[in-house]
């Protein structure tokens, strides 16, 4: 499988999960989705991540985003790990966790990086739009835990910029000013942003976040 690139339709697959069998595209429906992978069950960093994702699920729900994890382990092993996650983090797993012991999904999504490990998946995050296209991918080494606050921030940016002719500047957070994209002329911007904007440079026009 070639590396997934931004804008590609993500591969469909069937898998067994902690919430029963799924067909991925069907499961996503018209929602945004986040698929994130784990090398195997009972790994310490991933235990903390799944707990944090479960704590934050209401925030993802508000944004219409479905979460789904993947671990290269058997479905028989999942319940014990789910128990460990609750013991360690206080969070009950509240989204599906794929059992990918045959590495079928890992191969589809290019999660085995031989120079890092011949067997263990890297810990990747795929943000997928309602059109089933890849909007963002992040890949972390096994030693570094993911930042779910950053993942939420990115979702906010992706959803905002999908609806409006804006981009988000460095370190942007929901509610802060945004940038009018260069493809929008000043004349067109007057219609889109009647309250006006601040011109820092001809190509850098700062405007209040639409809807904020």
Query: Considering the domain boundaries, does residue 74 fall inside one?
Result: yes
**CATH code of residue 195:** 3.30.1020.10
Q: Is residue 98 predicted with pLDDT exceeding 60? A: yes
Mean pLDDT for the chain overall: 91
Q: How confident is the model at residue 42 (pLDDT cuts 50, 70, 90)?
A: low
**CATH code of residue 132:** 3.40.30.10
* For range 56-82, the mean pLDDT: 92
pLDDT at residue number 185: 96
Q: Which residues are catalytic?
A: 46
The total domain count for the chain is 2
Same domain for 129 and 183, yes or no, is: no
pLDDT at residue number 180: 98
pLDDT at residue number 45: 86
Same domain for 98 and 201, yes or no, is: no
Q: Is residue 201 predicted with pLDDT exceeding 90? A: yes
Same domain for 102 and 169, yes or no, is: no
Listed as own residue / partner, the contacts of 12-16 with beta carbons closer than 8 Å and 24 or more positions apart are 13/104, 13/105, 13/108, 15/98, 15/99, 15/100, 15/104, 15/105, 16/75, 16/98, 16/99
The residue segments making up the domain with residue 118 are: 14-146
Same domain for 83 and 135, yes or no, is: yes
Same domain for 116 and 186, yes or no, is: no
Same domain for 199 and 105, yes or no, is: no
* For range 158-183, the mean pLDDT: 97
Q: Is residue 36 predicted with pLDDT exceeding 50? A: yes
Main-chain dihedrals φ then ψ at residue 137, nearest 5 degrees: -135, 140
Query: Considering the domain boundaries, does residue 142 fall inside one?
Result: yes
- Least confident residue range of 4-8, 42-46, 73-77, 114-118: 114-118
pLDDT at residue number 93: 93
Same domain for 106 and 199, yes or no, is: no
Query: Considering the domain boundaries, does residue 179 fall inside one?
Result: yes
* For range 27-44, the mean pLDDT: 87
Whether 179 contacts 171, CB under 8 Å: no
Last residue within a domain, chosen from 113, 146, 179 = 146
Last residue within a domain, chosen from 114, 146, 178 = 146
Residue 141 or residue 132, greater confidence: 132
Q: How confident is the model at residue 114 (pLDDT cuts 50, 70, 90)?
A: low
Cα angle vertex 19, ends 17, 23, to 5°?
60
Same domain for 133 and 28, yes or no, is: yes
pLDDT at residue number 122: 62
Q: Is residue 62 predicted with pLDDT exceeding 90? A: yes
Query: Considering the domain boundaries, does residue 157 fall inside one?
Result: no
């Amino acid at each position: 499988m070639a590396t997934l690139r931004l804008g590609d339709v993500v591969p469909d697959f069937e898998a067994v999960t902690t919430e029963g069998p799924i067909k991925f595209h069907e499961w996503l429906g018209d929602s945004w989705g986040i698929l994130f992978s784990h090398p195997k069950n009972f790994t310490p960093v991933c235990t903390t991540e799944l707990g944090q994702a479960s704590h934050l699920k209401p925030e993802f729900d508000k944004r219409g985003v479905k979460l789904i994890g993947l671990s290269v382990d058997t479905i028989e092993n999942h319940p014990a790990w789910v128990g460990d996650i609750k013991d360690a983090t206080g969070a009950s797993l509240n989204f599906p966790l794929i059992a990918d012991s045959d590495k079928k999904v890992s191969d589809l999504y290019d999660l085995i990086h031989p120079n890092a490990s011949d067997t263990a998946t890297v810990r990747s995050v795929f943000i997928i739009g309602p059109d089933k296209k890849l909007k963002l991918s992040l890949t972390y080494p096994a030693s570094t835990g993911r930042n779910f606050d950053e993942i939420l921030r990115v979702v906010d940016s992706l959803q905002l910029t999908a609806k409006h002719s804006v981009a988000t500047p460095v370190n942007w957070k929901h509610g802060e000013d945004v940038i009018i994209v260069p493809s929008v002329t000043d004349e067109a911007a007057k219609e889109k942003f009647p309250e006006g904007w601040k011109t820092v440079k001809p190509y850098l026009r700062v405007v209040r976040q639409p809807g904020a």
